[in-house]
């Protein structure tokens, strides 16, 4: 397509990229003699209507934006090519290499350069998220970030390009959500079609982790969907904590805005210490799994200790005695050894057998508590509980939060979660150890964004846990 003229104005110089029905061309504007970038969307075999929707949204969004680090909208028009009809979007051309190209060329980035990049990109995001309606990029990654004029200790000029996945608040209302993005850089909520400013924060954090490690985020190990990278980098602990904060899977744990992220980066001593979220107590067998949308708590069955076994044996022997005594008496009566009190023995046998059966049933039911595990799933609008016995699984019907009405549910023994109004309010955990109680209260509070109040069994001890605050 070189040397072809579009709209009798744009002379094609070369093709810059091509993928899935899209092409990006370098052209010269005959009116201004400037180089421009032209995106073409062709109605070919690999055309999808979602692509057209995103293409039109990109054009509309760029017309409303004016920032030196974002390509300028210049023009758009219909095109007719040998491969089919389509649309063209003309933007200002930025002669710079992408971070992806720099990395593939063997370039490494120092900690100072990573911070410079982070600040520059956060300023761009602060501009985008500050628009009315908010503009969410949805595809921040190394190939969509350009660097120009790198020199000395300066990372150079930073640009954010490719708004083909952009979404605005206005676009979300009353329309079908199109899930777009790049695996490894997408936060958990984006897979479900939910996108907010914090989603771009996650993608930026994953991009910076790629710069620090030289490895694609999808290649790094994960723990509860949290990217694990600290063991393979040589960075300041404050920066590591900040990157982990940026890439928290849970929205309630993650930095909520570009402004918060900038302040936390520039004032590390004032940023929330995410390590303050208590680590799992040593020896605890409780398991937590979180994917950003759900928090699953698995409380395993209790271990049968020596002293508990002795305790059960002490209670079991009398029960066995009550059960065996009537049988012995009946045998003696049958053999004629107790004929003189036949009626009395039969009545005594009936009473003791009944009491023994009742006591044994109570003992057996109480012992099953030690054999039961409990799985609790906390979502945005409900809690569901499943009791797990070795021979039976019992699921408690999920309790929905309809109109924020008050509800409560006992989960295990004296453990209860109740939720008046909007947030999880009270968490009474009486059969767990104090460190486990505090750990779970912090975890649930951080996930839900609400306040958790732990009350002792006698209602004399009260302690509140709130979501760890973010920098304002």
Is residue 277 one of the residues assigned to a domain? no
Instruction: Please tell me whether residues 344 and 419 are part of one structural domain.
Output: no
Is residue 55 very low, low, confident or very high in pLDDT (cuts 50, 70, 90)? confident
Phi, psi values for residue 411, rounded to 5°: -100, -45
* pLDDT tens by residue, 90-121: 999 999 999 999 999 988 899 999 999 999 99
Is residue 299 one of the residues assigned to a domain? no
Instruction: Please tell me whether residues 101 and 171 are part of one structural domain.
Output: yes
Q: Which among 93, 67, 59, 68 has a CA at the least distance from the CA of 163?
A: 59
Is residue 221 one of the residues assigned to a domain? yes
- Which DSSP state fits 119? H
Q: Is pLDDT at 467 greater than 80 in this prediction?
A: no
Cα of 234 vs its chain's centroid, Å: 26
Instruction: Please tell me whether residues 120 and 140 are part of one structural domain.
Output: yes
Q: Residues 285, 315: contact at Cβ < 8 Å?
A: no
Instruction: Please tell me whether residues 401 and 333 are part of one structural domain.
Output: no
- What is the percent of the chain where pLDDT is above 70? 62
Instruction: Please tell me whether residues 344 and 386 are part of one structural domain.
Output: no
Is the omega angle on the peptide bond into residue 319 within 30 degrees of 0, that is, cis? Answer: no
Is residue 295 one of the residues assigned to a domain? no
**Cα–Cα distance, 247 to 217 (Å, whole number):** 11
* pLDDT tens by residue, 297-313: 888 876 666 766 666 66
Instruction: Please tell me whether residues 232 and 138 are part of one structural domain.
Output: yes
pLDDT at 240: 92
Q: Residues 427, 441: contact at Cβ < 8 Å?
A: yes
248-252, 431-435, 449-453: segment of lowest average pLDDT: 449-453
Instruction: Please tell me whether residues 209 and 161 are part of one structural domain.
Output: yes
Instruction: Please tell me whether residues 202 and 134 are part of one structural domain.
Output: yes
Across the chain, what does the average pLDDT equal? 76
Q: What is the CATH number of the domain that holds 201?
A: 1.10.510.10
Instruction: Please tell me whether residues 365 and 382 are part of one structural domain.
Output: no
Is residue 292 one of the residues assigned to a domain? no
Is residue 124 one of the residues assigned to a domain? yes
* CA-based radius of gyration for the chain: 33
Instruction: Please tell me whether residues 127 and 214 are part of one structural domain.
Output: yes
Instruction: Please tell me whether residues 124 and 231 are part of one structural domain.
Output: yes
Domain with 175, as residue range(s), is 97-272
Is residue 250 very low, low, confident or very high in pLDDT (cuts 50, 70, 90)? confident
- The domain tally of the chain equals 4
Active-site position among 29, 78, 80, 139: 139
pTM metric for this prediction: 0.65
Instruction: Please tell me whether residues 228 and 108 are part of one structural domain.
Output: yes
Q: Is pLDDT at 31 greater than 60 in this prediction?
A: yes
Phi, psi values for residue 262, rounded to 5°: -65, -45
Q: Is 139 a catalytic residue?
A: yes
Q: Is pLDDT at 471 greater than 50 in this prediction?
A: no
196-210, 366-380, 453-467: segment of lowest average pLDDT: 453-467
């Amino acid at each position: 397509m070189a040397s072809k003229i579009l709209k009798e104005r744009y002379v094609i110089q070369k093709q810059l990229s091509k993928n899935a029905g899209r092409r990006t061309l370098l052209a010269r504007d005959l009116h201004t003699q400037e180089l421009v970038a032209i995106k073409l969307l062709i109605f070919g075999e690999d055309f999808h209507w979602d692509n057209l929707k995103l293409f039109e949204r990109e054009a509309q969004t760029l017309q409303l934006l004016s920032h030196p680090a974002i390509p300028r909208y210049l023009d758009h028009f219909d095109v007719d090519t040998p491969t089919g009809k389509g649309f063209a979007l003309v933007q200002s051309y930025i002669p710079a290499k992408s971070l992806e190209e720099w990395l593939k060329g063997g370039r490494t980035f120092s900690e100072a350069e990573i911070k410079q990049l982070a600040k520059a990109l956060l300023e761009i995001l602060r501009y985008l998220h500050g628009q009315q309606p908010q503009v969410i990029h949805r595809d921040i990654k190394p190939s969509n970030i350009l660097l120009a004029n790198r020199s000395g200790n300066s990372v150079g000029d930073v640009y954010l390009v490719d708004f083909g996945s952009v979404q605005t608040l206005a676009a979300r209302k009353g329309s079908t959500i199109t899930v777009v993005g790049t695996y490894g850089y997408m936060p958990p909520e984006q897979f479900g079609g939910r996108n907010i400013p914090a989603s771009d924060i996650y993608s930026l954090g994953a991009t910076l982790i790629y710069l620090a490690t030289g490895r694609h985020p999808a290649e790094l190990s994960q723990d509860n969907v949290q990217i694990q990278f600290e063991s393979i980098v040589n960075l300041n602990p404050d920066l590591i904590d900040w990157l982990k904060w940026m890439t928290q899977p849970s929205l309630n744990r993650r930095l909520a805005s570009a402004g918060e992220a900038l302040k936390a980066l520039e004032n590390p001593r004032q940023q929330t210490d995410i390590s303050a979220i208590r680590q799992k107590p040593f020896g605890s067998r409780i398991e937590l799994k979180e994917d950003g949308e759900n928090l699953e708590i698995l409380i395993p069955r209790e271990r049968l200790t020596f002293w508990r076994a002795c305790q059960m044996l002490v209670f079991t022997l009398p029960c066995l005695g009550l059960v065996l005594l009537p049988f012995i008496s009946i045998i003696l009566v049958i053999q004629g050894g107790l004929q003189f009190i036949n009626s009395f023995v039969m009545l005594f046998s009936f009473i003791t057998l009944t009491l023994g059966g009742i006591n044994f049933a109570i003992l057996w039911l109480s012992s099953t508590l030690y054999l039961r595990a409990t799985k609790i799933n906390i979502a945005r609008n409900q809690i569901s509980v499943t009791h797990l016995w070795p021979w039976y699984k019992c699921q408690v019907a999920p309790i929905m939060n309809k109109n924020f009405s008050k509800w409560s549910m006992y989960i295990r023994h004296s453990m209860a979660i109740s939720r008046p109004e909007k947030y999880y309010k009270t968490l009474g955990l009486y059969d767990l150890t104090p460190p486990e109680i505090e750990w779970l209260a912090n975890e649930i509070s951080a996930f839900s964004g609400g306040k958790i109040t732990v009350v002792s069994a006698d209602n004399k001890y009260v302690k509140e846990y709130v979501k760890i605050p973010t920098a304002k």
